[in-house]
């Protein structure tokens, strides 16, 4: 397994953009307030900031954990302090991982301009890997919240404790037109955009925005993505397919591990019908839409073996199967979503993602052949050796 789209929140999860939240209502059902993760800010303010050395050690520990699971490349977001630490480790030759970083763009045109300036100052050429290890891959924007909290922007109301919650269709994280201006700003500067979008209405707005900016100024190859893409409409699927074909953009970056990790805990908010069709992986494949997989580490376990298994089995943590079997994929498709289909999202498809002459020797060795073992055993796979650029960075003591 030699490339892997991942959001490595474990370096410093407290810096995450507060996209998730809950809605408070009075006895009559009227919205009285929205509590977001940002409400934890006063608590976080009491925690002493990490030193530069602590951040470096944290990154090295995270990379060691990744190597133990056969991961040689990942995509994530970073704070300025984390970026400085990554840059220092890379210059010192200590970054034994390929790291593709998105910079958080905030929720306004002004914050997007500041992020664009920071990206352009960080590395002279976007998507170019310094020492073959570290690149600024683009900007990240949060379009909506979370499904489990009922804050993802949807056409239909969410549920509350299993009952329809009238009027609660989630909400956009910012004025949708402002989002569109932000994407246009990055796109016209030649910067890739990854947008967190979970609800069907949010996904529609995101893919339509990508289509608009590409039509205004075609720049094939930026590979704008939809992060999570839980509930795409037929319209969104049509636009994704067209964007991929015409502009090399509009790619879903999904987290199959969520099926296992969240499972039935989604049910009170989503309802059985919507839950069954979450993450339509088979539909993506049948429509010829290239999709890639990751973990959203910090939210779910980082090991790709869990995601491989979940994509094939669609089994919840409690052993039940609340998800439609019509969206199962086989292990060949699942494995590609972590390798050959993931590498292009890190702009590394010419170097990694498949084992062939001329590519880098980024290799994971497993204790069993995932193509021949029972699919139920995929989650038990053990990595025996991980190699990056021909260097053994992990070897199992067993």
- Other Cβ atoms less than 10 A from the Cβ of 143: the count is 28
Alpha helices of the chain — where are they, by DSSP H? Answer: 41-44, 52-68, 80-91, 109-122, 176-188, 200-216, 234-247, 257-261, 267-270, 272-276, 281-286, 304-313, 331-338
Please state, in angstroms and rounded to a whole number, the distance separating the CA atoms of residues 309 and 50. 36
Does the global pTM surpass 0.85? yes
| 77 Cα distance to chain centroid | 10
Own/partner contacts of 14-18, CB < 8 Å, gap of 24 or more, are: 14/40, 14/44, 14/47, 15/79, 15/82, 16/298, 17/77, 17/104, 17/140, 17/142, 17/196
Nearest residue to 99 via CA among 138, 126, 135: 135
Question: Which two three-digit tokens encode residue 27?
Answer: 């006895």
Q: What SS3 string covers 5-26?
A: CCCCHHHCHHHCCCCCEEEEEC
Q: What is the pLDDT along the chain (398 residues), one digit of tens a residue?
A: 444 454 333 333 333 333 444 444 444 444 344 445 566 678 778 889 899 999 999 999 999 999 999 999 999 998 999 999 999 999 999 999 999 999 999 999 999 999 999 999 988 788 999 999 999 999 999 999 999 999 999 999 999 988 999 999 999 999 999 999 999 999 999 999 999 999 999 999 999 999 999 999 999 999 999 999 999 999 999 999 999 999 999 999 999 999 999 999 999 999 999 999 999 999 999 999 999 999 999 899 999 999 999 999 999 999 999 999 999 999 999 999 999 999 999 999 999 999 999 999 999 999 999 999 999 999 999 999 999 999 999 999 98
Helix 200-216 and helix 176-188, axial crossing angle in degrees, nearest 10: 40
Does domain 9-17+51-395 match CATH 2.115.10.20?
Answer: no
Buried b (16+ CB within 10 A) or exposed e, 248-258: bbbbbbbbbbb
Please state, in angstroms and rounded to a whole number, the distance separating the CA atoms of residues 188 and 9. 29
Please state, in angstroms and rounded to a whole number, the distance separating the CA atoms of residues 93 and 249. 33
**Domain layout of the chain by residue ranges:** 9-17+51-395
CA geometry: angle at 276 spanning 154 and 151, to 5°?
25
Own/partner contacts of 354-363, CB < 8 Å, gap of 24 or more, are: 354/2, 355/2, 360/132, 360/389, 360/390, 361/387, 361/388, 361/389, 361/390, 362/2, 362/3, 362/72, 362/73, 362/98, 362/387, 362/388, 362/389, 363/2, 363/72, 363/387
Q: How far is CA 70 from CA 65, 385, 387, 388, in A?
A: 9, 7, 8, 10
């Amino acid at each position: 397994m030699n490339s892997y789209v991942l959001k490595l929140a474990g370096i410093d999860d407290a810096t995450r953009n507060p996209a998730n939240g809950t809605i408070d209502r009075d006895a009559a059902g009227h919205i009285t307030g929205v509590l977001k993760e940002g409400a934890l800010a006063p608590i976080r303010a009491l925690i002493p900031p990490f030193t530069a050395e602590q951040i470096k050690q944290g990154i090295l520990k995270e990379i060691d954990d990744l190597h133990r699971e056969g991961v040689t490349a990942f995509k994530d977001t970073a704070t300025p302090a984390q970026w400085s630490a990554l840059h220092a480790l890379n210059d010192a030759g200590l970054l034994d991982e390929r790291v593709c970083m998105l910079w958080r763009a905030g929720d306004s045109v002004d914050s997007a301009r500041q992020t664009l300036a920071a990206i352009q100052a960080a590395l002279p050429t976007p998507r170019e890997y310094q020492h073959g290890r570290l690149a600024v891959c683009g900007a990240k924007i949060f379009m909506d919240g979370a499904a489990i909290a009922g804050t993802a922007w949807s056409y239909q109301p969410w549920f509350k404790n299993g009952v329809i919650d009238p009027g609660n269709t989630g909400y956009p994280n910012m004025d949708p037109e402002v989002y569109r201006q932000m994407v246009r700003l990055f796109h016209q500067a030649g910067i890739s955009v990854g947008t967190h979008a979970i609800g069907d209405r949010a996904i529609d707005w995101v893919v339509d925005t990508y289509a608009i900016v590409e039509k205004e100024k075609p720049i094939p190859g930026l590979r704008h993505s939809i992060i999570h893409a839980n509930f795409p409409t037929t319209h969104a699927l049509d636009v994704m397919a067209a964007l991929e074909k015409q502009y090399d953009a509009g790619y879903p970056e999904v987290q199959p591990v969520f099926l296992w990790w969240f499972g039935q805990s989604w049910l009170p908010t989503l309802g059985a019908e919507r839950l069954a069709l979450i993450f339509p992986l088979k539909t993506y494949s049948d429509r010829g839409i290239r999709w890639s997989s990751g973990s959203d580490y910090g939210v779910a376990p980082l090991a790709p073996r869990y995601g491989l298994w979940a994509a094939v089995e669609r089994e919840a943590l409690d052993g039940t199967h609340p998800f439609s079997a019509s969206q199962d994929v086989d292990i060949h498709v699942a494995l590609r979503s972590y390798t050959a289909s993931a590498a292009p999202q890190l702009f590394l498809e010419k170097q990694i993602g498949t084992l062939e002459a001329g590519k880098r020797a980024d290799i994971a060795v497993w204790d069993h052949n995932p193509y021949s073992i029972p699919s139920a055993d995929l989650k038990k796979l053990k990595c025996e050796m991980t190699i990056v650029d021909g260097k053994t960075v992990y070897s199992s003591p067993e």
